[in-house]
Structure 1
Amino acid sequence: MKKFAYLAATVAALAMTGTAHAGNPDGKLQVKLLGTAVLVDGKVSQVISDGARLVATGGVTNTDINDNVVPTVAVEYFFTPKVSVETICCVTSHHVTVSSGTLKGVDAIDNVQIIPATFTAKYHLPLGAIKPYVGAGPTLFLMINDRPSAAVRGLGVTRTKLSSQLGLAVQAGADVAIGNGYSLTLDAKKYWVSTEATFYTATGTALQTRHKLDPWVLSAGLAYRF
């Protein structure tokens, strides 16, 4: 988190000193500071095991995951004017809510944090000041700091674990040049990725489910190329 904050502050400082740091619109490296909406389409896709019969007795039958808005830093390297690779850095926090059954509306997992490590290859179509692009590549959703809610602990659950998983991302967007290497940027990504949620009791595994996440990730912000 400290490295992310430092990088974000560096990009912001560059944006405020445009004339002192004149960029290059044809440079090899581009850094973006973005505001990003993470819109998760989450639900249970499979009940793998239910040794404690939590689905039958506790009503944990399907779930929703809340949306979030976070700052994001993207770093992009151009091999040619039309071909580049990009990676992003952010941490987004969510909670998992039961959406059906007797516990409908109750949080099941509190404050899971996700690092969506994403690497995309992009193709750009230069059209003067406007440069639209498309891209695709792998992603690794790293799950950290999840914990069971008070309601689920009341069912005997002592610990939860969401698995980190590989997935796929596609993207489309555009950079609009505003001078001195700076651009306004819009970006949309669609992810296909799942996670396995395991609920533990003091005696072992109580419930294991597979969740489809598949978020839309929409970003807008400022780019600096040099």
Structure 2
Amino acid sequence: MKTLLMITGAALALAANPATAQDRSNDRAGDIQFKVLGTAVLPDGEIEQVNVDIVGLPANTQTAASDNYVPTIAVEYFVTHNFSVETIAGITQHDVDAVSGLPGAELVSDAQLIPATVTAKLHFDLGDSIKPYVGAGPTYFLWVSDKPGAATIPLGVTDTDLSDEFGVALQAGVDVALGDDGFGLTLDAKRYFIGTTARWFAGDVLAIETEHNIDPWVLSAGVSYRF
């Protein structure tokens, strides 16, 4: 996080310097940019706190969420030449497994997440075609599906619930134009700061409740078209 904040601060200083701004005659305020990306979602998933445990988990139980690789789409609107607003569309799926205490035990299966995110971005120029950017904005993690993990079913667990939560995303990346027709390549990195509360139910009884860091890195690469 410290590194991304330093990059953001440097970019703000550059954007505020008239020497780095593109000539007004080339200003493309009002442009829209579409991006089609391959994305790696690399979450944490560790337990921060145990609130309820009638099952008797081992004291050293710790968990991790699985990585996932998915296609995503980004849509970006340029308010000015150097300032834009972007949102992403995609869905990602993860399991949660124990890594200590009950190593290898699957606790949550096929948890599907929509990471609704909007970022405000600052762009600056490094030559005619290379345009790095930084950004930040709110996110809302919406869990649309989750199932009890295989290791919990023999314990009588019948349902699992992951709480939807608000958080923050920091972003840095670069757009590389390919000629003058609007096509380009893009590289993007986001770090999210967000958690969730996981609950396991046996019938109507809350058997386990734990709070988790998710805090994923989301790394993307793909193609873009700006018009």
Instruction: Please report the TM-score for the alignment, with normalisation by the length of structure 2.
Output: 0.84
Identity %: 53
Aligned to 2:105: 106
Aligned to 2:61: 61
Is 1:32 the counterpart of 2:31 in the alignment? no
Aligned to 1:209: 210
Q: Is the 8 A contact 1:117 1:140 kept in 2?
A: yes
CA RMSD of aligned residues (A): 1.6
| Closer, same or farther: CA 177–160 of 1 in aligned 2, 3 Å | same
Following the alignment from structure 2 to structure 1, what is the Cα–Cα distance between the partners of residues 74 and 56?
Answer: 41
Is 1:119 the counterpart of 2:122 in the alignment? no
Q: 1:108-144 CA deviation, whole Å, 9 max, x = no partner?
A: 1110001000000000002220000000000001112
Q: CA deviation at 1:149?
A: 1.9
Match of 1:46 among 17, 33, 49: 49
Aligned to 1:161: 161
1:67-78 to 2 correspondence within 5 Å?
67-78=67-78
Q: CA deviation at 1:55?
A: 1.7
Following TM superposition, where does structure 1 have runs of at least 4 consecutive aligned residues deviating by more than 4 angstroms? none
Aligned to 1:149: 149
Following the alignment from structure 1 to structure 2, what is the Cα–Cα distance between the partners of residues 149 and 35?
Answer: 28
Aligned to 1:222: 223
Q: Is the 8 A contact 1:189 1:217 kept in 2?
A: yes
- Report SS of the residue matched to 2:152: helix
- Report SS of the residue matched to 1:55: coil
Following the alignment from structure 2 to structure 1, what is the Cα–Cα distance between the partners of residues 116 and 60?
Answer: 29
Following the alignment from structure 1 to structure 2, what is the Cα–Cα distance between the partners of residues 25 and 225?
Answer: 13
Structure 1: 5+ residue runs without aligned partners? 1-23
- Report SS of the residue matched to 2:76: strand
- Report SS of the residue matched to 1:70: strand
Following the alignment from structure 1 to structure 2, what is the Cα–Cα distance between the partners of residues 54 and 93?
Answer: 28
Following the alignment from structure 2 to structure 1, what is the Cα–Cα distance between the partners of residues 196 and 99?
Answer: 18
| Residues matched between the structures, number | 199
Structure 2: 5+ residue runs without aligned partners? 1-25
Aligned to 1:184: 185
- Report SS of the residue matched to 1:151: coil
Following the alignment from structure 1 to structure 2, what is the Cα–Cα distance between the partners of residues 30 and 60?
Answer: 48
